[in-house]
Amino acid sequence: MTYEFDDNDLKKIEKIKAKYPEVMPATLPVLWLAQNKFGHVEPDVQRLVAHTLDLPEAHVHGVATFYTQYYKEKKGKHVLDVCTCLSCQLCGGYDMLNYIEDKLGIKAGETTDDGMFSVEEVECLGACGYAPMLQVTNGKYVNHLTEEKVDKLIETLKEGKDPEYEQIRMPLRKVN
């Protein structure tokens, strides 16, 4: 497949570049634009970004492979990033990962045959107080996971809906 930016994309890239005194910092947002357009940043997409920004391919590849939010291969429509770092681990992160794998019939790193879901085991997503948790396609977090929450999430996504925003209220402390 040949990847190309259209005129609209190129205008957006010029606006991104204009925000920085040098072009190198534009790498992150342009990779993000590319991923939103193509669904991933496989090596051919990384090459397109490098050539568009007139940067070394090695630089763009280094950025793309450093950050987990950039998908280096095609993924499902919905990517379920399940945190298994220490806090989530202690609160059942692996139990939730295993439950999702069993429910979808795939293992972490795989995509369902219908292309609807990919499951990833990830390191800390920075929400340790809400463990176990997952992130849906670099977007919404689903906190305090249970099997019931996972079931509802998967059904919601299958119906083409976004998961509901969940407000987490912190208990108020008395200040003396």
Count up the domains in the chain and report the number. 2
Q: Are residues 83 and 50 in the same domain?
A: no
Q: What is the pLDDT of residues 2-50, one digit of tens each?
A: 999 999 999 999 999 999 999 999 999 999 999 999 989 999 999 999 9
Q: Are residues 108 and 151 in the same domain?
A: yes
What pTM was computed for the model? 0.78
Q: Are residues 102 and 129 in the same domain?
A: yes
- Enclosing domain of residue 93: 78-158
Q: Are residues 49 and 110 in the same domain?
A: no
Q: Are residues 94 and 48 in the same domain?
A: no
CATH number, domain with residue 27: 1.10.10
Q: What is the pLDDT of residues 56-115, one digit of tens each?
A: 999 999 999 998 789 998 999 999 999 999 999 999 999 999 999 999 999 999 999 999
Q: Are residues 56 and 113 in the same domain?
A: no
Residues near 53 by beta carbon (within 8 Å), at least 6 away in sequence: 13, 17, 23, 26, 27, 30, 60
